[in-house]
Chains A and B, each alone.
Chain A
Amino acid sequence: MKQIVSIVMALALLVCAMVLPSCSDSSISADEIKIGVIHIGDPGAGAGYTYAHDQGIIAMQQNLGLKDSQIIRKNNVPDDDAAATKTAIEECIEAGCKIIFGTSWGYMETMAALAEQYPDVIFSHCSGYMSNDKNFNNYFGRIYQARYLAGIAAGLKTKTNKIGYVAAMGIDNAEVTGGLDAFAKGIAAVNPDAVVYVKVTNTWFSVDLESQAAEALLDLGCDVIAQHCDTTAPQLAAEKRGVWGCGYNSDMTKDAPKAHLTAPIWNWGVYYTSAVEAVLNGKWQSFGNYFGGLKEGFIDISPLSDNCEPGTKEIIDQVRQLIIDGKFEVFDGKQIKVDGTNVTVVDEALVDNKGNVIVEAGGSCLDDKTIAFGINWYYKNIIEA
Chain B
Amino acid sequence: MNTIVNFLFAAIKAGTPLLFGTTGEIITEKAGNLNLGVEGLMYMGAFVGFLVGFYTESLLLSLLAAFGAGVLGSLIYAFLTVTLKANQNVTGLTLTIFGTGFANFFGEMLIAATKGGAPKLSAKFSAKLAEIQIPLLSDIPYLGRALFSHNILVYLAIIIAILSWAYIKFTRAGLYLRATGENPAAADASGLNVTLIKYVNILLGGGICGIGGAYISLLNGNGVWNNGCVNGQGWIAVALVIFASWSPAKAILGSLVFGAFTIFQVRAGDFAAEFPALSFLSSIPNAIYVMLPFLVTAVVLIITSITRKREGAQPASCGVNYYREER
Contacts and interface: CB of A to CB of B under 8 A. Distances in A.
A and B are partners in one complex rather than unrelated chains? yes
Contact of A208 (B6, B14, B286): B14
Given A47-B118, A202-B286, A232-B118, A211 B220 contact: yes
B10 A236 contact: no
Contact of A216 (B117, B228, B270): B270
A173 interface: no
Contacts of B267: 216
B226 A233 contact: yes
Contact of B224 (A42, A45, A236): A236
A213 interface: yes
B290 interface: yes
Interface in B267-294: 267, 269-270, 273, 282, 286-287, 290
B38 to A, nearest CB: 16
A337 B282 CA distance: 34
B112 interface: yes
Given A233-B222, A236-B223, A385-B273, A209 B265 contact: yes
A212 B262 contact: yes
Interface in B229-254: 229, 231, 233
A216 B10 contact: yes
A383 B224 CA distance: 30
A277 interface: no
A293 B327 CA distance: 73
Nearest to B233: A208
B270 A385 contact: yes
A240 B6 CA distance: 16
Contacts of B286: 170, 200, 202
B141 interface: no
A369 interface: no
Given A201-B265, A211-B220, A255 B120 contact: yes
Interface residues of A, number: 33
B227 interface: yes
Most interface-central of A44, A213, A216, A237 (chain B CB within 10 A): A216
A42 B273 CA distance: 41
A239 B222 CA distance: 9
A241 to B, nearest CB: 10
B223 to A, nearest CB: 6
A49 to B, nearest CB: 12
Size bracket of the B interface: 35 or more
Interface in A12-56: 42, 44-47
Contacts, number: 98
Interface in A193-209: 199-202, 205-209
B191 interface: no
Contact of B216 (A45, A201, A202, A208): A208
A278 B226 CA distance: 37
B116 interface: yes
A239 B121 CA distance: 14
A207 B14 CA distance: 12
B216 to A, nearest CB: 7
A237 B41 CA distance: 26
A208 B220 contact: yes
Contact of B265 (A202, A233, A236, A385): A202
Most interface-central of A44, A215, A239, A240 (chain B CB within 10 A): A215
Interface string A290-308: 0000000000000000000
Nearest to A41: B227
Interface in B105-122: 108, 111-112, 114, 116-118, 120
A207 B290 contact: no
A231 interface: yes
Interface of A: 42, 44-47, 170, 199-202, 205-209, 211-213, 215-216, 219-220, 231-233, 236-237, 239-240, 254-255, 384-385
**8 cross-chain pairs, A with B, having the tightest CB-CB distances, nearest first:** A236-B222, A254-B117, A46-B111, A213-B266, A385-B269, A219-B6, A207-B226, A202-B286
Given A170-B286, A215-B10, A216-B6, 7 more contacts: A200-B266, A208-B231, A212-B14, A212-B266, A216-B263, A219-B6, A232-B226
